[in-house]
């Protein structure tokens, strides 16, 4: 299990319905996937599974997405895992904040799925 492709993606999303939908679509697109429903669970699973990439909802209970991203970037064991922030608004400030928090990319909700796939592939192959 050394190649990125063999490691799962981690989807962090507290809204159950949306999480299941994204999980289903991503699996259908050929990715193996693990899920987390809050910020703490996200950090735990990142350390445990070393996912190839994290799709991180920002509006999360327990610890919000920004906190997760900042903590991850200061943890040497997981700081190289690319993170795509999933934000609720297409606001420029979200983009700045996502990049400042250490996310490599961001996608606004509602998710444009083909665009998300392109972003995932770009990060997995970089």
Partner 1 sequence: MVKHSNTDDPWALKVLAAVAALGPKRHYDPVITSELVKKDLVSLIGASQKLEEKLELTHSEARHDRRNIIGAIRGYSEMLLEDSDALPSAVRTHLLQILAAAKNEPAPEPHSPTKSTALLPSEEPGVILAVDDLPENRELVSRLLQRTGHTVISAESGEEALELLDTMGVDVVLLDLVMPGIGGAEVLKRLKDDERLRATPVVMISGQQDMDQIVGCIEAGADDYLLKPFNPVLLQARISAGIERKRWHDREERYREQLERREQFIRATFGRYLSDDIVDEILERPEGLELGGDLREVTIMMSDIRGFTTLVEHLPPQQVVTLLNRYLGRMTEIILEFGGTIDEFLGDAVLAVFGAPRRNDDDPDRAVRCALVMQEAMADINAANSADGLPEVEMAIALNTGSVVAGNIGSERRSKYGFVGHAMNVTSRIEDVADPGEILISHTTFEKLAGEYQFGNSRALSVKGIEAELRVHAVLGRD
Smaller CB separation from partner 1, 17 or 76: 17
Please report whether residue 122 would count as binding partner 1 according to CB under 8 A. Answer: no
- Phi, psi dihedral angles at 20 (to 5 degrees): -65, -40
- Among 20, 44, 96, 121, contact with partner 1 (rule: CB under 8 A): 20
In angstroms, the CA 115 to CA 101 distance is 22
Helices 39-49 and 65-73: angle between axes, nearest 10 degrees:
30
109 lies in the site for partner 1, by CB under 8 A: yes
Residues near 112 by Cβ (< 8 Å), separated by ≥ 6?
none
* Residue list 77-96, contact with partner 1 (CB under 8 A): 88
Least spacing, CB of residue 114 vs partner 1, in Å: 5
Contact present, 82 and 104 (Cβ < 8 Å): yes
**Site residues (CB under 8 A) for partner 1?**
13, 15-18, 20-22, 24-25, 28, 59, 88, 109-111, 113-114
């Amino acid at each position: 299990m050394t190649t990125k492709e063999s490691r799962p993606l981690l989807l962090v999303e507290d809204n159950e319905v949306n999480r299941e939908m994204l999980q289903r679509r991503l699996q259908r697109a050929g990715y193996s996937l693990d899920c987390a429903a809050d910020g703490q669970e996200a950090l735990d699973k990142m350390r445990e599974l070393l996912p190839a990439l994290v799709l991180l909802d920002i509006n999360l209970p327990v610890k919000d997405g920004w906190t997760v991203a900042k903590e991850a970037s200061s943890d040497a064991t997981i700081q190289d895992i690319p993170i795509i922030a999933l934000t609720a608004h297409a606001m420029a400030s979200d983009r700045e904040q996502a990049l400042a928090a250490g996310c490599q990319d961001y996608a606004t909700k509602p998710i444009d799925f083909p665009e998300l796939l392109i972003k995932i592939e770009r990060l997995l192959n970089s």
